[in-house]
Amino acid sequence: MDGSTGDIGDDFYHRFKEDIQLMKTIGLDSFRFSISWTRIFPNGKLSGGVNQLGVKFYNDLIDELLSNGIKPFVTLLHFDPPQALEDEYGGLLSPTFVDDFVVYADFCFSTFGDRVQKWVTINEPNSYTMNAYDFGKFAPGRCSSWMGNNCTDRGVGGDSSTEPYVVGHHFLLSHAAAVKLYREKYQARQKGGIGITIATHWFEPKYRTLPSSQVAASRALDFLFGWLVHPITYGDYPKSMRSMVGDRLPRFTREESEMLKGSIDFLGLNYYTMNYAENTPPQLLAAATTTNPSYSTDSRAVLSTEKDGIPIGTPTALDWLFICPKGFQKLLLHIKDNYNNPPVYITENGIADQSSLSLEMALEDTLRIKYHSTHLQSLSNAIKGGANVKGYYVWCFFDDFEWDAGYTVRFGMTYVDFNNNLKRYLKASAYWFQNFLASPPSTLQSEM
């Protein structure tokens, strides 16, 4: 959005020791980070050579975390599949991707698994797939011409009605194959756990008294969340997706279905906000289903963030993100009731400020404190209701390079001055968490 790159970002590569001291100061006992596939295999494959400097960095990082009492929580793939594999065979559009991912995962398990107890195979395969192959916003930027200028201006090509489902399918098979490998080869001696992280909103019927709105909200959740969690729980896609997508939705072999079923030791969950949902109006249905079909319209649900002029929650700097802690609680209880109540780690939860805020205003950080305090209260309520939640991670520790948004937004509890040697400043939310984590349980409950 701002023409920037992630070449340097926060420069965590050179500053990780000082940054870990900041984490320790706050009282964090775990740090979630991702390994960059191409920092390990520059050409995407073991046969193309290993970057030993990359391996050394992750070894040093893991050791430094552990020496400071902070447990690493490691993601293998977070929005950055190797360009070399894209060039060679189309990347995630090819089933060959599955085999290459497993070789990469095998190397990471064997190299780092003696010290890493929690592995996430893939971060948000649903949101990455949607943004990269339906909207064309993330690399490789593929989508149908009718999706707007994202793809037509670049001449990249794509098919928003089929490619998202193919890519999502290959993501699921990559996950399941890596889990199978870990369980058969490493888990018994390394004694770790492995899962996947799925992002989702909660969807509230726009008009609760209308059965059509209730069904639309259920379908919207199936298409975003059930798309992935249903196969890893039950071995196949939700019935609503089969019904709406038809032959465009790939099928699993019996062996693949069995490999997927139960392929998590825990579920990673990224939650930010919720939406209203209602049926697609009849006048728009033909375009959505026959003329210009796409993943984003196949659910036949129209999403919105206000009703009768009233926003769904407290507005924030981002037009899609409203503070809706009740959706968090409802989502966790939905998982408990519908997906066998797996152990859940909240792997992302947070809000952003615009980068244009002054340093003084950014450090005050009152809205972020409100966001986390209300969401932790809802999390507490969900746990009391039986949700099997084991951990909570804020997105994120630093202001960062935020994908297509670049440096235009700030999600961190630590302010990074990108114009002054990347100097770090703890925001008020960091001190709030410091007090929160240091409080005895009775005080925690009253503050939450």
Cα 5 from chain centroid (whole Å)? 21
Known catalytic residue: 360? no
- Longest Cα separation, the chain: 61
The token duo for 395 is 């997105």
**Contact call for residues 264 and 388 (beta carbons, < 8 A):** no
Report CA torsion sign: 185, 188, 191, 193: positive
Separation CA 318–CA 308 (nearest Å): 20
177, HSE (Cβ side, Cα atoms, 13 Å)? 19
Measured from the Cβ of residue 7, the count of other Cβ atoms closer than 10 Å reads 7
Cα 441 from chain centroid (whole Å)? 29
DSSP letter at 395?
S
Work out the angle between the directed axes of helices 428-438 and 366-384 (0-180°, nearest 10): 30
> Among residues 306, 348, 402, 447, which one is catalytic?
348
357 exposure class (CB count in 10 Å sphere: 0-12, 13-18, 19+): middle
Query: For residue 300, which of 309, 292, 289, 290 has the smallest C-alpha distance?
Result: 289
Grouping H, G, I as helix, E, B as strand and the rest as coil, residue 398 is strand
**Contact call for residues 138 and 167 (beta carbons, < 8 A):** no
Backbone dihedral angles phi then psi of residue 245, each to the nearest 5 degrees: -90, -30
Hey, which residues are catalytic here? 348
